[in-house]
Homo-oligomer: A and B are copies of this chain.
């Protein structure tokens, strides 16, 4: 493995595509994508959180976040005043809980599949990158 042909960004993008597909499959039964489930679970864990905060946590551009959030609301999972902090509806809360069960099982499974050392490798990489790119 050398600098000449190992593209960091390309590799990350490919991995993200592959893993996203796998997680998406798991959430199909609930009719949500992994991206949506992830947001629901975060809002469940941090009720009243602002879009700007989620943007920073997830490193997603604020306009993209705005649309992701609007999609959740369109599906009836968020209460109406988006500009005053995000809150799940009752339906959204139940869905978030179901998603968390699915997520927990799958994440555990993937974790075991690849082993703690390998996850540690990703984690180390992640720390380096995120420190560099988010102050």
Residues of A within 8 A of B (CB): 1, 3-4, 6-23, 34-35, 38, 58-60, 103-104, 107-108, 110-111, 113-115, 117-126, 128-130, 132-134
Among A60, A119, A123, residue most surrounded by chain B Cβ atoms (within 10 Å): A119
What's the number of copies of this chain in the assembled complex? Answer: 2
Q: Is the interface of A mostly helix, strand, loop or mixed?
A: helix
What residues of chain B lie closer than 8 Å to A107, measured between beta carbons? 3, 6-9
Contact status B59-A125, CB under 8 Å = no
* A1 CB contacts on chain B under 8 angstroms: 119-120, 123
Which residues of the other chain, B, contact A10 by a CB distance below 8 angstroms? 34, 38, 58
* Contact between B130 and A121, CB atoms less than 8 A apart: no
Chain B residues, Cβ within 8 Å of A117: 124
Q: Please state if B7 and A12 are interface contacts (CB–CB under 8 Å).
A: no
Complex Cα distance, B115 from A7, in Å, reads 14
Which residues of chain B have C-beta atoms less than 8 A from A59's C-beta?
A: 14, 17-18
A111 touches B3 (CB 8 A): yes
| Contact yes or no, B58 A14, CB < 8 A | yes
